[in-house]
Amino acid sequence: MALSNFIIPVKVDTTQVAKGLRNVSNQFKNLSNGLKSTGQALTLGVTAPLTLLGREFVKTASDAEETQAKFSAVFKELTGDAEDFVQATAERIGRSSNDLRKFMGTLQDTFVPLGFAREEGLEFSKALTELTLDLASFNNMAEAEVMQGLQSAIVGNHETMRKFGVIINQTNLNQELLNMGVKDGIKNATEAQKAQARLNIIMAGTADAQGDA
């Protein structure tokens, strides 16, 4: 008997076959999309922090460049002397040289407009920068906050010194001006003389903290 006589015809439902093929195709598509999404997520997980790090690096570099530009502008021919102080202090106390330049530049830009010679401003800026570090260490405060308080007190906002235990008022300011030889005290004092008197009172009132850093 011929073999073909034993073959049983099978009826194939082409609709179900097509549906099955579409399901398989969709599964492969979903798998492909999933892998693609995973790849994008992995890429984002790696590149996003690197992008943020790059931006922070650029910001820091830009900040340092701006600080250096101001530092050179306010100290002019004394920039070398000011930089020597910054480097020595940064190494001795272990502070960021850029932060110290920022403090020095801000203070110098306060003293010179008050009428001090640039050389005097440099010496006062050195003194107050060191005092900033000492008071911050002594009082467990942020150095930038301390520096802003000192700067504010020098120009006449005496209240900022109360948190450091230093009282500046009309009476002791007038007495200090008289001690400095300013005739009639506050009445005839220049802004530079008043600033000098405030600085003297501040230095005297913070003796316990000096050297703490």
Q: With contact defined as beta carbons under 8 Å apart, do 157 and 150 qualify?
A: no
pTM above 0.85, yes or no: no
Most distant CA pair in the chain, distance: 141
The pLDDT value recorded for residue 62 is 79
**53 Cβ partners below 8 Å, 6+ apart?**
none
Between CA 115 and CA 121 the distance in angstroms is 9
3-class state of residue 32 by DSSP = helix
For the stretch 118-148, what's the b/e string if a residue is b when 16 or more beta carbons lie within 10 angstroms of its beta carbon?
eeebbebbbbbbbbbbbbbbbbeeebeebbe
Residue 163, Cβ neighbours under 10 Å: how many?
13
User: Distance between CA atoms of 150 and 203, rounded to whole angstroms?
Assistant: 11
Residue 11 has a pLDDT of 47
Ranges under pLDDT 50 in the chain: 1-12, 17, 24, 35, 42
Those residues whose C-beta lies under 8 Å from the C-beta of residue 148, and which sit 6 or more positions away, are 160
Which DSSP symbol is given to 6?
A: G
User: Which residues touch 201 (CB under 8 Å, ≥6 apart)?
Assistant: 166, 168, 172, 173, 176
Output the pLDDT for position 61.
72
